[in-house]
Amino acid sequence: MNDSSLRELWNRGQRGWSKDAPIAQFPNAPLLTAIAAWIVGHFTSGSVHDVASAVFYVALSCFAWWEVTDGVNRGRRVMGAAVLLFVVVSLAGKLGA
């Protein structure tokens, strides 16, 4: 598979299914990064866990912000707002606020 085929496959996955109102969509780069960081953080400890946790929250925040500002429909924008709320509440709990 060449680069143009991979790029087209990625772009098709980003558009989602169905074209008019995407229900299922391949995860974008920030969400993939958040998932990878969560997995790394789950299986590590110490400073590696701390860095993975920070990357998880930053990437998840980027994903949520993109959904809030550029979501293809109201459902996606609401989901983005819910994820942002999750991040704020989670970080507040970790900081003892």
8 Å CB contact between 91 and 57:
yes
Q: Where are the domains positioned within the chain?
A: 29-95
Q: What is the pLDDT of residue 84?
A: 97
**What does pLDDT average to over the chain?**
87
pLDDT tens, residue by residue, 44-72:
999 999 999 999 999 999 999 999 999 88
CA distances, 73 to each of 3, 33, 80, 84 (Å): 30, 23, 11, 17
pLDDT tens for 16-52 read 656 666 666 778 899 999 999 999 999 999 999 999 9
Helix, strand, coil percentages (3-state) for the chain, rounded to 5, are 75, 0, 20
